[in-house]
Chain A
Amino acid sequence: MDAKKFLGQLIEVPGVSGYEDQVSKLIMDTFEPYCDEVYRDDFFNVYGKKLGNKSGKGPKIMLAAHLDEIGLMVKDIDDRGFITFTNIGGVDQRILLSQEVYIHGKERLFGVIGAKPPHLQERNEARKAVPMKEMVIDVGLPAERVKELVTIGDLITFKSPLVELTGSNVCGKSIDDRAGVVMMYETMKELDKLVFSGEIYFVATAQEEVGTRGAIISTYKINPDIGIAIDVTHGDTPDASRDDTHAMDKGPAIGVGPNMHPKLTKKLMDVAKEYGIDYQVEVAPGLTGTDARSMQISREGVPTVLIELPLRYMHTTVETLNLDNVKKAARLVAQFIASMEEGWEECLTY
């Protein structure tokens, strides 16, 4: 399956943090042909294990990209069947009006998010964003039917399919970080063309959006020599500062800062240069908001690098990604893994 098709499938499967059952199954099935073993744990972390095709003691490397997505949750149902809700993960309330959603109750229900119409707003209200607590989901059913099908605490996901834009750009929901999962899948394919040793674990992690919990658990379980976190970073847009963003067409970003191992990061950059893969630098002065923050301090500590895919409008329903960066990042990571020849332990030192 090609990267675009896999991404299109992934973003249509629900997997709000803590409720990743369905999306983890799709990932298991898709990883299967390219791995020696695929399994998942009780937290819905998916592990794809791939063994090196060359003898010799290679490193145990863990890649991590999170499979969970932000979403909404049912808070209450009023006596006319309108549903109020809250957010899971960071959601800008300003994107919510007129959004289409699915409520995952006893059945999957389609609904739209509405609020008091503009002409009924008081004058000063019009300048303010409509607060999430004043919005409702309308599923077009009478109250008694809604109460039969929907329970407080039911998950809500956005409906926004993958749409192709110009160039290699695509937009849709939950590309944060399903693009990272696709990038791992592409890395597996790249590795099949290369000679490498060691044990590679491709882990699609759960609950990243609510505190990198899947990474904490899975890194402990695998206890890798090297960690590679894959996530998204902010793509450049006119309304955001250039200091906070990365170009969409200049390759993946490599993280630099205390969260990342300096020698290993330099090696990653050297590999990029050697193979002519362009990259950008993401400077992270403290902890990164990625799985890398937890991988690094698992057990006795794991030397970790971070690769990020520029993404515009993160945490909206129109997240925009350049698929070229996914391909470039996959090539880079595959070559990085293949570059771990005898004496690889050296690059983990200080």
Chain B
Amino acid sequence: MSDLLKRLTEARGVSGNEDQVRQLILEEVTPLVDEVRVDNMGSIIAFKKGVKSDKKVMLCAHMDEVGFIITRIDDNGMLKFAPVGSIDPRILPSKRVKIGDKAIPGVLGIKAIHLQEPSERETAAKAKQMYIDIGAKNREEAERLVKPGDYAVFDSECVYFGDSKVKSKALDDRVGCAVLIESLKGSYPFDLYACFTVQEEVGLRGAKVAAYSIQPDIALVVEGTTCSDVPGVEPHRYSTRMGEGPAISIADLTSYSNKKLVSLLIECAEKADIPFQIKESVSGGNDAGEIQRARGGTMTAVVSVPCRYIHSPSSVADLNDINNTLRLVQEFLKGCEAL
């Protein structure tokens, strides 16, 4: 799992430009399934024929990640950019990025502290004022390496640390992708569609069309979700807690989870002695929002791996939570047939 997760999180895949991570996932899933295809949006739909029934179960994890798109090259060779997906601009100063298919290195610099007024240090940096420096002398030199429309990702190595923690970019939602890939190693009585969606971070767009084409009876979304259990936050606003197992969603801003599926998830966890938690906030949203409303409606549920410092180059998750999420998904799939 840890090796797979490293490869998944280090692959580039900003919403709208998921090529590299898509290629990696295709290579991983092809030997495990009966059929695999890439749909019109670029999502991967991996199909595993059921041994008994015609029931259709969809597992969904998004492969895209937040990042940047280059909007303009200035005369001085600096690149202007816009965020793709939601990124707190306050994390941007003094970070490294990789731009385009050739992964050209660049930095998000900030004027030296010596040149700042004291008030500047108290004010959050704005993405609009910032730029990416690739070391180019001028526009011509920069244009040889990058062009407007190129995507950029955080340059962040996947590091295992602490007592079972992983730090990387894009844990949201490569943790889900890893869980799906591992789940495909099992065999199931029903038809299983493992769907690795694109463009979740810009509005759940890949899931909408994938769910339409699959028409599942049941869908389970596997996510990486906010974990705010850090100092300065009141415990009732933690949302999820690191190390306490997969978080089961009751509702968020995009969907209500189906009660039968939630009960099944809880029952499975309790029976198999898998630690779990109920996600304590209703903020945010994920692919379940679109899957639930596809065609005539689908039963959906969401389990998530808690991720601290989400949407940053240094998001952190607990490997035990990831493994327990995988176990819960496997138990859930076993229980699905009876529904």
Contact = CB atoms under 8 A, between A and B. Distances in A.
B228 A120 contact: yes
A136 B109 contact: no
Contact of B231 (A136, A240, A244, A322): A136
Contact of A116 (B74, B116, B137, B233): B233
Contacts of A142: 163
Nearest to A311: B112
A313 B230 contact: no
B231 to A, nearest CB: 5
A42 B175 CA distance: 50
Contact of B110 (A78, A84, A92, A117): A92
B123 A289 contact: no
A138 B230 contact: yes
A318 B95 contact: yes
Given A100-B314, A138-B308, A318 B134 contact: no
B167 A95 contact: no
Contact of B308 (A114, A120, A126, A245): A114
A94 B93 contact: yes
Contacts of B230: 82, 114-117, 136, 138
A129 B94 contact: no
Contact of A120 (B94, B96, B111, B237): B237
A244 B113 contact: no
A315 B129 CA distance: 19
Given A92-B93, A98-B312, A141-B163, A167 B137 contact: yes
A247 to B, nearest CB: 9
A167 B309 CA distance: 34
B53 interface: no
A84 to B, nearest CB: 8
Interface in B84-139: 88, 90-91, 93-96, 104-116, 121-125, 129, 131, 133-137
Nearest to A89: B113
B232 A115 contact: yes
Given A82-B230, A167-B141, A98 B95 contact: yes
A171 B115 contact: no
Nearest to B145: A166
B121 to A, nearest CB: 6
A240 B316 contact: no
* Residue from the set A100, A139, A142 with the largest chain B CB neighbour count within 10 Å: A100
A94 B121 contact: yes
B107 A171 contact: yes
Contacts of A317: 94-95
A301 to B, nearest CB: 27
A234 B142 CA distance: 22
B78 interface: yes
Nearest to B155: A163
A105 to B, nearest CB: 13
Contact of A289 (B105, B114, B136): B114
A117 B109 contact: no
Contacts of A120: 228, 233, 237
Contacts of A94: 90, 93, 110, 121, 124-125
Given A127-B124, A318-B107, A165 B90 contact: no
B49 interface: no
A129 B121 contact: yes
A246 interface: no
B43 interface: no
B232 A316 contact: no
B163 to A, nearest CB: 5
Given A117-B226, A118-B88, A95 B162 contact: no
A134 B233 CA distance: 11
B112 A240 contact: yes
A314 B94 CA distance: 10
A119 interface: yes
Contact of B309 (A112, A166, A289, A322): A112
B2 to A, nearest CB: 14
A129 B88 CA distance: 11
Nearest to B156: A100
Given A114-B230, A167-B141, A318 B109 contact: yes
A239 B111 contact: yes
Contacts of B113: 90-92, 314-315
A320 B107 contact: yes
* Residue from the set B93, B122, B313 with the largest chain A CB neighbour count within 10 Å: B93
Interface string B312-339: 1110101000000000000000000000
Contacts of A138: 230, 308-309, 316
Contact of B90 (A112, A129, A164, A318): A129
A234 B115 CA distance: 9
Contacts of B133: 165, 237, 312, 320
A244 B115 contact: yes
B7 interface: no
A93 interface: yes
Contacts of B231: 78, 80, 82, 84, 116, 134, 136
Contacts of B106: 165
B72 interface: no
A239 B167 contact: no
Interface of B: 74, 76, 78, 88, 90-91, 93-96, 104-116, 121-125, 129, 131, 133-137, 141-142, 145, 155, 159, 161-165, 167, 226, 228, 230-233, 237, 283-284, 308-310, 312-314, 316, 318
The 4 closest A-B pairs by CB, nearest first: A140-B162, A165-B135, A140-B165, A169-B135
18 contacts: A92-B94, A95-B94, A100-B159, A119-B283, A128-B122, A134-B232, A140-B161, A145-B163, A164-B105, A237-B78, A238-B74, A239-B111, A240-B112, A313-B94, A315-B114, A316-B93, A318-B94, A318-B107
Given A117-B310, A163-B107, A313-B112, 12 more contacts: A92-B93, A98-B309, A114-B230, A116-B232, A117-B230, A117-B309, A126-B124, A127-B123, A128-B122, A139-B162, A140-B316, A165-B107
